[in-house]
Amino acid sequence: QYAAVKDVLAGQYSAGETVTVRGWVRTRRDSKAGISFVNVHDGSCFDAIQAVVPSDLDNYSSEVQKLTTGCSVAVTGTVAASAGQGQDFELQASSVHVYGWVEDPDTYPMAPKRHSMEYLREFAHLRPRTNVAGAVTRVRHCLAQAVHRFFHQHGYYWISTPIITTSDAEGAGELFRVSTLDMQNLPKDDKGQVDYSQDFFGKEAFLTVSGQLNVEAFASSLSKVYTFGPTFRAENSNTSRHLAEFWMIEPEVAFADLNDVAKLAEDMLKFVFKAVLDERADDMAFFAERIDKQAISRLQHVIDNDFVHMDYTDAIEVLQNCGKQFDYPVAWGVDLQSEHERYLAEEHVGAPVILKNYPRDIKAFYMRQNDDGKTVAAMDVLAPGIGEIIGGSAREERLDLLDKRLREMDLPAEEYSWYRDLRRYGSVPHAGFGLGFERLVAYVTGMTNIRDVIPYPRSPKNADF
């Protein structure tokens, strides 16, 4: 019978039972006593299982002794208590079948040694074989499942928002154009401009930068909804926290205000952190050992404590009086840079912090105006090591104030007629936020570059594989 490595190691088979595990060789060591120790992993858990292979197997010298890291094998044997350190069970092998050899072990790019993250990025197709990418992949999966579970348990419906859209979603980011026009021979109008009326959608179309406006329409009927899908921004700079293609989780809640969604963000983060500590203890132990000593204690601290809330205005004062030299100076009215965000989270609070009530003029048109006439009911959740991981707000549900904002920002009301309808027909106060999924995975694992927590990172000049 075929067995997953994780089940054998967890003691799901009794000693003496015969099982077959299939996977890839992590290491092989031959002992003088005429046996070989072959460690096999299959991705089902962090650890590999040790197979003890006796030299009397038919293919011992012809094959077993030639196994190298990366070879694919099936090992059949009896489950036995392991005397060695680390694991409770091993396999006493009675046969080893080789599916595939590694052509040239000396130049195998994933040969067993510590590779730099930069090096691994050049092998997006082979890096899943490394311990670190395997652990990231399992944690990422666990977090995604936990996000869906959290919302499902709290009565939210998952809405798929469109990937192709003609709206630029408040200019949240640089747009990728989607077109079927012949680039060599673009149709032009009388003024010499590209004539997009001849394009597939009859006008300019883009990849979505946010599903928020679309999901608001569903909150205005189903009350509690969220999107969780891919998002695209042609970010021009190479930073360690921006990707051109990333996944975003965007809940939208009717009859909610800013504090309601701040609480929702806190509850959701605590829920998914608990899930990952429970379900991926093996991978988290690896991150704590190899990537970031605080990987586990940091999450536990978040789970055990209330989030700190701060007003933008107070944060500016803190930043101005902290005595630290920033590359970008701070004054009331500026948008915070990652260095400011990180200072507040890392040094001022020492944990994630929720910053609220930003100046109206640096925020999108749809954010709900506060009574002071200067600020809007916006929040960012700032995390140590990264800075912003969540951006959210109460949405302006009052049509007259929304229209005033559209005019002030020179945005054409016609383009937003469907969005305005939501305020014309049964408008309600509502609020929501966007959580960058890769920033969440980076925060949880302690990985410092966002390109290492997504299977196939897209960034300037990089969309191969």
Binding site for Mg ion (CB under 5 A): 388, 391
Nearest to 177 by CA among 200, 152, 207, 212: 207
CB of 452 to ligand ATP, least distance (A): 13
Task: Encode 353-389: b = buried (16+ Cβ within 10 Å), e = exposed.
Answer: bbbbbbbbeebbbbbbbbeeeebbbbbbbbbbbbbbb
Among 252, 397, 438, 452, binds ligand ATP (CB under 6 A): 438
Closer CB to Mg ion, 43 or 359, in the complex: 359
Q: Binders of ligand ATP among 172-201, rule CB under 6 A?
A: 172-173
> Considering only 14-22, 53-61, 402-410, 428-436, which stretch makes contact with ligand ATP by CB under 6 A?
428-436
The answer to the question of residue 140 lying near ligand ATP (CB under 6 A) is no
β-bridge mates for residue 81, sequence order: 89
Contact by Cβ (8 Å): 284, 277: yes
Q: Binders of ligand ATP among 197-256, rule CB under 6 A?
A: 233, 235, 241-243, 246, 248
Contact by Cβ (8 Å): 391, 433: yes
CB of 227 to ligand ATP, least distance (A): 12
Contact by Cβ (8 Å): 345, 310: no
> Considering only 78-86, 128-136, 252-260, 389-397, which stretch makes contact with ligand ATP by CB under 6 A?
389-397
CB of 390 to ligand ATP, least distance (A): 5
The answer to the question of residue 391 lying near ligand ATP (CB under 6 A) is yes
Spatial distance between the Cα atoms of 93 and 100, rounded to a whole number of angstroms: 19
Give residue number: closest CB to ligand ATP: 436
The answer to the question of residue 284 lying near ligand ATP (CB under 6 A) is no
> Considering only 4-12, 52-60, 62-70, 430-438, which stretch makes contact with ligand ATP by CB under 6 A?
430-438
The answer to the question of residue 382 lying near ligand ATP (CB under 6 A) is no
The answer to the question of residue 334 lying near ligand ATP (CB under 6 A) is no
Q: Distance from CA of residue 309 to its chain's centroid?
A: 24
For the record, the structure tokens of 216 come out as 């608001």
Nearest to 128 by CA among 188, 41, 208: 41
Spatial distance between the Cα atoms of 76 and 22, rounded to a whole number of angstroms: 9
Contact by Cβ (8 Å): 405, 365: yes
> Considering only 120-128, 299-307, 311-319, 387-395, which stretch makes contact with ligand ATP by CB under 6 A?
387-395
Give CA separation, 98 vs 9, 14, 19, in Å. 22, 26, 16
Give residue number: closest CB to Mg ion: 391
Closer CB to ligand ATP, 23 or 434, in the complex: 434
The answer to the question of residue 389 lying near ligand ATP (CB under 6 A) is yes
CB of 161 to Mg ion, least distance (A): 18
Spatial distance between the Cα atoms of 277 and 298, rounded to a whole number of angstroms: 11
Closer CB to ligand ATP, 170 or 283, in the complex: 170
For the beta carbon of residue 341, count every other beta carbon within 10 angstroms: 23
Closer CB to ligand ATP, 286 or 343, in the complex: 343
The answer to the question of residue 356 lying near ligand ATP (CB under 6 A) is no
The answer to the question of residue 129 lying near ligand ATP (CB under 6 A) is no
Which stretches of 94-209 are DSSP H helices? 117-121, 131-153
Spatial distance between the Cα atoms of 199 and 264, rounded to a whole number of angstroms: 41
How many residues belong to the site for ligand ATP (CB under 6 A)? 19
For the beta carbon of residue 418, count every other beta carbon within 10 angstroms: 11
The answer to the question of residue 360 lying near ligand ATP (CB under 6 A) is no
The answer to the question of residue 432 lying near ligand ATP (CB under 6 A) is no
CB of 246 to ligand ATP, least distance (A): 4
Contact residues for ligand ATP, defined by CB under 6 A: 172-173, 233, 235, 241-243, 246, 248, 388-391, 434-436, 438-439, 450
